[in-house]
Every structure is written in C-alpha cells, then in structure tokens.
Amino acid sequence: MSKAHPWKWPVIGLFILLLVAAIEITVRLVVFKDSSAYNGVRNYVLSTESSPQYRAQPFLNYMNFPGMPDPEGVSQINRMGLRHRTEATLPKPAENYRMLFLGGSTTFGEVDTPEEAFPAIVQETLNHSEVALPSGARTVECLNGGMGAATSAEIFTHYLMRYRYLDADMVVIHAGINDAFAYPALPGYVYQPDYHTSKRVMQDMPTVTPALRLLCRSFTLASILIPHYFPIQVNSDFTTNDFFDYHNRDQWLASGNVAARDTTYNAFYRNLQALIKLLKEEGKAVLLVTEVVEYSMMPVEARSMLEGGIEWNAELMTKLAAEMEVPLLKLDKAEFPPDLFIANDGIHVNGLGEQKKAERITAAIRSAWDANVPPH
C-alpha cells in the first residue's frame, strides 16, 4: 500500500480555496454589479441599519418599524411609528402645544438620531425662546411623522387612520419629492393618480438576522439567499435600474400625459387638498413647506426622474396655500448650498442642513402664530 503524498491535503485545501475565490470573484462581477438590485439589497443586509426600517400595515401600506434602533442600539421609533424615543401622551396634556410633522424621508431625516432631525430642533428652539405660545400652552411638543418613500397618499392615510388621534394643534406638511417619481410614465401609459405605474411594494423589508448578515458576506451565498428572502426588492421595477431605463422623463410634460398637469387628476394636489380641508375642519393650524434639492449632487438617473416634477409640486403647494388660505414656506435654494446636502444624494440634507431647515421652519411657525392663521 503506497504511502500518501505529504502535500496531498494541503494541495487539495489550496485548490478548494482557489475555487471558492474564483466563484466569489465571478459572482461579484456578474451578479453584484454596482447598479444591481442584488448589490443594493446585500449592502442593506450588511449595514448596521438593517434591523428593519419599515413594516407592512393594513390600510396604510407600510409604517416605520417600531423599535428601530439608532447607531448606539437605542430605539428611535415608538409604537405609533413616530421618530421618537418615547410615546406620545394620550390624551394630549393641556399644557402642550403639539405639532405634527408629516412628509417623507426629508422630514424623517437622514441623520443618525431623532434629536438631529429638524422637528426635534424646532421643538428645542421654541421651548428655549421668549416667544409666547398659543392657546396658553407652556411647552411645545414636535412629533416627527416623516417616513421614507412616503407620497401624499401615505401622508393622507397615516393622518386619517392614526395621527389624527394625537390631537395636534398644528400640522406641518413637508413634501413634494416622492410624488414626483410618479410623473414619468411607463411606456404605453400616462400618469396614473393611484400611482400603480410607479409605486411598488418595497417597504416590507424582511428582518435581517445575525445569521443572514453573516452568510451574506459571501457573494455566492448572498446570490442564493437574497432572491429567497427579498424577492420583491430584487424583482420590483421600483428598485432596479430598469425603472430608470424605461421611464421617459419628458413624457409627463408631453401632451399625451396631461393628467399630471390637471389638478382634477393630480394625486399630490388632491390628496393634500383633502388633508388640509380635514385639518381645517378639525380646527388645526396648517403650514406647508416645499422641498429643496441639489440636482448637481444627484445620481443621473434620479435627476432625470425628478427634475421638473419637484418644481411642479412646489407650484401646486403654492396654489393650495392660496386657495385654502394656509401659510406656505418656500425653502430658498440660495440658503442651502451643496455642502448642506449628503454627498451623492442631493435630496437629503446633513446635520447642518437640518439645522438650517429648522431655523427657517421655526420662523415660519412664529409668523403663523402671529398672523393667527387659521384662527385658533
């Protein structure tokens, strides 16, 4: 019986390692391209924020995931889905002047903690100022109801189904970006006010367990696990590069897509109109705030989708403010230079940008109080 070669197992081991490395490199180059949905989902799984941010919710489409932690592992989303570490007291304390901020991720804030987002800064500023509060209140409470990817539809339904019971004295609506994604229509379609040509179910992100995060460090295993755990995120045209490829950025401006320009059918206009009407009937003060973006810092695909649509929505907010007699704050781009935006984003501001927003919104709130619009 011949003696085994002393290098047999080391050679086999080396061969296996080289084979695994070759497979990893191949899968990385073929499947996990920089622009692929696979790569985006894998980055999400490996990120420190991948304890889920959203949860599917009946009637609401989705909501912020209660208990979502900040970078230190401390919860920053309460049971109602507000970006707060504590629960909002019900019924509202008589001494509180409660403000509810509604919008998308630009209201939620792309910052690490709730305290860095502009609603919390507004609260801190007003509570440490000499200004007299309305209705004999002794303290200001600002509730952050912002939610990533929220359109006017989610803003309206979340207030109607959940947040109206918070009994806010004032509601601040900061919106106009996410609805703009619906304007460039799919080939063969025109703008649809129910958003079925653009809004896909991407919000129900599965919980990322430590085991899944560990396994997905391998590109090969990730290529098997991701389509199993994240089929919607991988296959939805809302989350893949194809979404940008087969949308025509000019189509919504064309004569064939006049519905986007007609306030009879424009969902952004009609949803906010209905919400403002409801708020005024409930005796709430309302403040509308337009969006501010830096197109030069946006990815080309996002800019091609949004440019024109955001400005159109700002025009619609101006029209609504005049028609419904509510105050409007138009954020001035000249006050938001590029260094206030997150790099390679152009939509979300950084911590300094949040402070600038808070400064402008605080001044607008004080003006609304002084003008007593609407009467309180």
- Break the chain into its structural domains and give their ranges: 7-46+208-235, 55-201+238-371
pLDDT value for 188: 53
* Listed residue (112, 109, 84, 77) closest to 98, CA to CA: 84
Kindly tell me the sign of the dihedral angle through the C-alpha atoms of 357, 359, 361, 364. Answer: negative
Cβ within 8 Å of residue 19, ≥6 positions away: none
DSSP state string for 2-57:
PPPPTTHHHHHHHHHHHHHHHHHHHHHHHT--TT-HHHHHHHHHHSTT-S-SEEEE
Kindly give the residue spans of alpha helices, DSSP state H, lying in the chain: 8-30, 37-46, 105-108, 118-127, 152-161, 210-215, 219-229, 231-235, 242-245, 267-281, 300-306, 309-324, 351-371
pLDDT in tens, the chain (376 residues): 556 677 878 888 888 999 999 999 999 888 887 656 787 788 778 875 556 677 778 888 888 888 888 878 888 999 999 999 999 999 999 999 999 999 999 999 999 999 999 999 999 999 999 888 897 899 999 999 999 889 999 999 999 999 999 999 999 999 999 998 878 755 555 677 887 656 554 455 677 788 888 999 999 999 999 888 887 666 654 444 344 444 444 444 444 467 778 888 899 999 999 999 999 999 999 999 999 999 999 988 788 778 888 999 999 999 999 999 999 999 999 999 999 999 889 999 999 999 999 999 999 999 999 887 443 3
pLDDT value for 87: 94
Which two tokens mark 247? 């949308």
* Model confidence, pTM: 0.81
Give CA–CA dist 363/373, Å, rounded.
14
* Listed residue (248, 355, 219, 373) closest to 309, CA to CA: 248
Structural contact between residues 269 and 156, judged by C-beta atoms closer than 8 angstroms: no
pLDDT value for 329: 98
Question: Is 55-201+238-371 assigned to CATH 3.40.50.1110?
Answer: yes
Hunting for tokens 């080396």 — which residue is that? 14
Kindly give the residue spans of alpha helices, DSSP state H, lying in 236-327: 242-245, 267-281, 300-306, 309-324
- 3-class SS of residue 69: strand
Backbone angles phi, psi at 255, to 5 degrees: -65, -25
Which two tokens mark 346? 């152009």
pLDDT value for 373: 42
